[in-house]
Structure 1
Amino acid sequence: MTVQAARPARVDRAQDRYTGSYTQLSAAVKESGLLQRRYGYYWTKISLTVVALAGVVAGMVLLGDSWLQLLLAAVLAVILTQFALLGHDAAHRQIFRTSWANEWASLGLGNLLGGFSLGWWQHKHSSHHANPNKAGSDPDVAPGVLAFTPYARAERHGLGRYLADRQAWFYFPLLMLEGLNLHVASMRRVVSRTPMKRRRWELALLLIRHLGYLTGLLLIMPPGTAAAFLGVQLASYGLYLGGAFTPNHIGMPTVPPNLKIDFLRRQVLMSRNVSGGWLVHFLLGGLDFQIEHHLFPSMPRPNLRKLQPLVRQVCAENKITYTEKSLPAAYATVLRYLNKVGLAARDPFGCPLAAQMRGAGPDLLDRQTARPTR
């Protein structure tokens, strides 16, 4: 018997209600004009980031053989992360109206400046957006160095399980390797036999980026200083970029492979917003409005804040939990979750919808989602 066949009629009616609510929300968003492009915002942001990059390069040339270069390495990591976040926006078609313009913008901002492959990112990130926190479908919670779900932890034994139970202790140190991992994974994807659009362009841009960067470092500073500079930049880049995505979904409910959820609840219940004003919005590149971004991925970053009241209203009307926390509270939740994976209970999934489908009662979702969390 499939999950759908086992669902009570009340659940089917609830699914229809949530689907209708998202349809109404989508219509209201289209009428509001929030999906219109924000060319002034993006051209200003791209231009200022390019100026900042030029300033860092000029500083590197002026400093020459100096260990003060390591400070500029950290600053460069921040700038490159901003380019990567802009590449993320372009890949979601937030910047321009046409697909080809967004694609080429993403190739320039992502491949040439951020150092990651557009094709690799789209394959991975599209799967995540379609099924956030769903085991077997979301690559962001797939088994790897870390165990993001209790099932992944349960499959480990010996030292692997011991480390998984204490993985929060080395989560942020591991993020320092994420920059290197991103570059390696991108190159592996580009040179593989996996079908990819614009493969030659992607490969050419990545080679220009990496070889040009390394050549520039060796022309500006001695090999030892250049190696230290590269290490600091990669570690800072991975920590910042990984840290920007960390608060979004980790610690939110995980979903079993056979559970089907309507689009509205799938995106809201599995996502977490981060409060903190303009500084957090700048640092996270719009990912602080993760719920709104998942509901309308092509909406320009600066419009997400204006969308938030509409989404809150729909969630309140349908008794769907809308989760928002400060950045420190979000990180604390993530670390607690990582250390408690598989240990808090025998039930491997903390998703109230999964409990509902297993016979816990058709009104369980309403009881668990009646009070929004902050």
Structure 2
Amino acid sequence: MGDLGAADADYIRRVIAVQRGLEFGGRALLMVSLFPPAWLAGTGALAVAKILENMEIGHNVLHGQWDWMGDPEIHSTTWEWDAVSPAAGWKRSHNVVHHTYTNILGKDRDLGYSAIRVDPAQPWKPIHLFQPLYNLGLSLGFEYGIAIYDLELDKVAAGDKPWSQARAEIGGLWQKIRRQWIKDYVAFPLLSGPAAPTTLVANVVANVARNVWGHTVIFCGHFPAGAQTFTEDQLVDESPGGWYIRQVLGSANLDGPPLLHLMTGNLSHQIEHHLFPDMPSNRYAEIAPKVREVCARYGLPYTSGSLPRQYAGVLLTIARLALPGGGRRVAGGENAGWM
């Protein structure tokens, strides 16, 4: 981190410029989206722009990865991303809770997002019989699922969070949703004139494509075979080094070319991201071989695989755990000694 400098700053500014160029070009093409090739090209460009904004830009800026630049525009305290979930709520639930209590049952609410049973140690309920279906719904509307999840309504129901706080957060969420809807589903379609209906459909398709991609990448980060979960008892005596080991054991990477890493927001390097969440994402590929070598030296698993294989495994896990039982995935044996 000591050698961060102009090359890194140029990288994120270049990605932002490309993303904005794709969005501008996509929306310009949609002005004439009555012409099918223009609709296809415009929708594709807009979908890629939204993916880049959420994954490589928004997610990482909100982690504070680029705060060192001192740029008030590219800063975790000022960035508001192109999604319905307000940045403030996401930073609390993701940066603070998830990255602190990664894969700890009963602590990390990202384990199935309080809706999907992804570990056999999670209690089974009859509603889980339908989780393959509502996982599909979550995938299509992932930004809304994240936004509702960030409200922590389960804590409100349990009396652990005041309703007054939740009411204020719901108000903020509704304002953000309204802004997003006006932008994507009213303003830009109207600007397209006669092409308003096709532009509206294009915006819906682009948002759904972004949602499905984000769901796929994120679920591949902690739920594939090889990613381990932990109990609250293991947290009690966890050493500082044990925290790092838990990040390795609880995360999984995706193998692929540089374009895949860019489009996943470098969450294809999920292990490295969890070890160093505030490291600029363009550096993860550089340190990944070193992290893998350290894991091999000390006998720690380094879980990694192709996107199709990892996501297929996630879907199989969700289907299997829709039924009671399912075995155990909690870390134990030789790995427990590392904690």
- Amino acid of the residue matched to residue 138 of structure 1? D
Q: Who is 2:60 aligned against? A: 89
Distance 1:125 1:136 in 2: 15
Q: How does 1:188-207 map to 2 (within 5 A)?
A: 193-194=164-165
Task: Decide whether aligned partners of structure 1 residues 340 and 207 sit closer, same or farther in structure 2, where only a CA change above 3 A counts.
Answer: closer
TM-score (norm 2): 0.78
Q: Who is 1:163 aligned against? A: 130
Contact 1:149 1:341 in 2 (8 A): yes
- Amino acid of the residue matched to residue 57 of structure 1? R
Contact 2:62 2:87 in 1 (8 A): yes
Alignment deviations for residues 113-147 of structure 1 (CA, whole Å, 9 cap, x no partner): 34431112101212111122212211211564422
Distance 1:187 1:352 in 2: 30
Q: Who is 2:221 aligned against? A: 248
Contact 1:91 1:103 in 2 (8 A): no
Distance 2:113 2:254 in 1: 26
- Amino acid of the residue matched to residue 258 of structure 1? D
Q: 2:46 aligns with which of 70, 76, 86?
A: 76
Offset of 1:316 from its aligned partner?
A: 2.0
Q: Who is 2:280 aligned against? A: 300
Q: How many residue pairs get matched?
A: 318
Task: Decide whether aligned partners of structure 1 residues 183 and 237 sit closer, same or farther in structure 2, where only a CA change above 3 A counts.
Answer: farther
Offset of 1:109 from its aligned partner?
A: 5.2
- Amino acid of the residue matched to residue 131 of structure 1? Y
Offset of 1:304 from its aligned partner?
A: 0.8
Is 1:140 the counterpart of 2:107? The answer is no
Secondary structure of the 1:140 match is coil
Q: Who is 1:216 aligned against? A: 188
Contact 2:22 2:45 in 1 (8 A): no
TM-score (norm 1): 0.72
Secondary structure of the 2:67 match is coil
- Amino acid of the residue matched to residue 228 of structure 2? P
Secondary structure of the 2:254 match is strand
- Amino acid of the residue matched to residue 250 of structure 1? F
Alignment deviations for residues 223-267 of structure 1 (CA, whole Å, 9 cap, x no partner): 644553343233212111212212110132222233224112110
Alignment deviations for residues 305-359 of structure 1 (CA, whole Å, 9 cap, x no partner): 1111221222122211111111112112212222232769665x41233xx4xxx
Is 1:309 the counterpart of 2:289? The answer is yes
Contact 1:289 1:305 in 2 (8 A): yes
Q: Which runs of 5+ in 2 are unaligned?
A: 154-162
Distance 1:263 1:71 in 2: 45
Q: 1:179 aligns with which of 143, 152, 157?
A: 143
Percent identity over the alignment? 21
Distance 1:329 1:146 in 2: 20
Q: How does 1:1-374 map to 2 (within 5 A)?
A: 30=1, 33=3, 38-63=8-33, 69=39, 72-85=42-55, 86-97=57-68, 101=72, 104=75, 107-108=78-79, 110=81, 113-126=82-95, 127-142=97-112, 144-152=114-122, 154=124, 156-157=125-126, 160-164=127-131, 167=132, 171-172=135-136, 174-182=138-146, 193-194=164-165, 208-213=179-184, 214-220=186-192, 221=194, 224-251=197-224, 252-260=227-235, 261=238, 262-341=242-321, 349-353=328-332, 356=333, 364-365=334-335
Structure (1 or 2) with the larger CA radius of gyration? 1
Offset of 1:78 from its aligned partner?
A: 2.1
Distance 1:178 1:146 in 2: 13
Contact 1:93 1:99 in 2 (8 A): no
Task: Decide whether aligned partners of structure 1 residues 107 and 48 sit closer, same or farther in structure 2, where only a CA change above 3 A counts.
Answer: same
Offset of 1:35 from its aligned partner?
A: 9.2
- Amino acid of the residue matched to residue 128 of structure 1? H
Offset of 1:172 from its aligned partner?
A: 4.5
Deviates more, 1:45-54 or 1:113-122: 113-122
